Structure 1
Amino acid sequence: MDYTPDTIRSIELSTLRLPLPVPISDAKVFTGRQKPMTEVVFLIAEIATAQGFTGHGFSYSKRGGGPAQYAHAKEVAGVVIGEDPNDIDKLYTKLLWAGASVGRSGVATQALAAIDVALYDLKAKRAGLPLSKLLGAHRDSVRTYNTSGGFLNASIDEVLDRATQSLREGIGGIKIKVGLPDGAEDLRRVRAVRDHIGTEVPLMVDANQQWDRPTALRMGRRLEEFDLVWIEEPLDAYDAHGHAELARALDTPIATGEMLTSVAEHERLIAAHSCDIIQPDAPRIGGITQFLRLMMLADRAGLGLAPHFAMQIHLHLAACYPREPWVEHFDWLDPLFDERLETRDGRMFVPDRPGLGITFSGQARAWTTERVTIGA
Structure 2
Amino acid sequence: MTTAVGDAIASVRLGRYAVPLATPVSDAKVATGRQRPLSRIDVLTCEIGTRDGLRGLGFSYTTRAGTPAQYAHAKEVGEHLLGQDPSDIGKVYESLLWAGASVGRSGVATQALAAVDVALWDLKAKRAGLPLAKLLGAYRDSVRTYNTSGGYLQAPLDEVKERASRSLAGGIGGIKIKVGQPDMREDLRRLAAVREHVGDEVPLMVDANQQWDRISALRFGRAVEEMNLVWIEEPLDAYDAEGHARLAEALDTPIATGEMLTGVPDLVRLIGAVDVVQPDVPRVGGITPYLKVAALADHAHAQVAPHFVMEIHVHLAAAYPREPWVEHIEWLAPLFEERLRIEDGRMHVPDRPGLGLSLAGRARDWLIDDVEFHGPGR
TM-score bucket (shorter structure)? over 0.9
1:178-213: CA deviations, max 9, x gaps? 000100000011011100100000000000000000
2:295 corresponds in structure 1 to 296
SS of 1:296's equivalent in the other structure is: helix
CA deviation vs aligned residue, 1:43-79 (integer Å, no higher than 9, x gap): 0000000000000000000011010000000001111
Q: Which residue of 1 aligns with 2:47?
A: 46
The answer for the alignment partner of 2:284 in structure 1 is 285
Match of 1:127 in 2: 128
Residue 317 of structure 1 corresponds to: 316
Task: Determine the C-alpha separation between the residues in 1 that align with 2:96 and 2:141.
Answer: 32
Q: Which residue of 2 aligns with 1:252?
A: 253
Q: Trace 1:53-202 onto structure 2 (pairs within 5 A).
A: 53-202=54-203
Q: Tell me the distance in 1 between the aligned counterparts of 2:8 and 2:52.
A: 8
CA deviation after TM superposition for structure 1 residue 274, in Å: 2.6
Equivalent-residue separation in structure 1 for 2:274 and 2:166 (angstroms): 30
TM superposition shift of 1:333: 1.3
Distance in 2 between residues matched to 1:191 and 1:173, nearest whole Å: 16
Query: Which residue type is aligned with residue 292 of structure 2?
Result: R
The Cα shift of 1:4 comes to 7.4
Give SS of 1:332's match: helix
Quick one: which amino acid aligns to residue 175 of structure 2?
A: I
Letter matched to residue 83 of structure 1: Q
Q: Deviations over 1:345-366 (max 9, x none)?
A: 1110001000000111012122
Cα drift, residue 375 of structure 1? 2.1
Q: Give, in whole Å, the separation in 2 of the partners of 1:324 and 1:59.
A: 24
Partner amino acid, structure 1, of 2:261: L
* AA in 2 matched with 1:344: E
Secondary structure, aligned partner of 1:42? strand
- How far does the alpha carbon of each residue in 1:148-205 deviate from its partner, in whole angstroms, 9 at most, with x for none? 1000011111111110110011110000000001000000110111001000000000
Structure 1 stretches (4+) deviating beyond 6 angstroms? none
2:376 is the counterpart of 1:360: no
Letter in 2 for 1:352: D
Cα contact 2:131–2:353 (8 A) shared by 1: yes
AA aligned opposite 1:337: F
Q: Between the two proteins, what is the percent identity of the paired residues?
A: 66
Say whether the 8 Å CA contact 2:145–2:327 is kept in structure 1. Answer: yes
TM-score (normalizing by structure 1):
0.98
Separation in 1 of the partners of 2:125 and 2:241? Answer: 36
Gaps of 5+ in 2: none
Amino acid corresponding to residue 143 of structure 2 in structure 1: V
Residue of structure 1 equivalent to 2:16: 15
Q: Secondary structure at the match of 1:269?
A: coil
- What is the rounded CA distance, in whole Å, between the counterparts of 2:355 and 2:364 in structure 1? 19
Residues 5 and 85 of structure 2 are in contact (CA less than 8 Å); yes or no, is this contact kept in structure 1?
no
* 3-state secondary structure, aligned to 2:84: coil
**With structure 2 as the length reference, what TM-score do the two structures score?**
0.97
Q: Is the 8 A contact 2:277 2:303 kept in 1?
A: yes
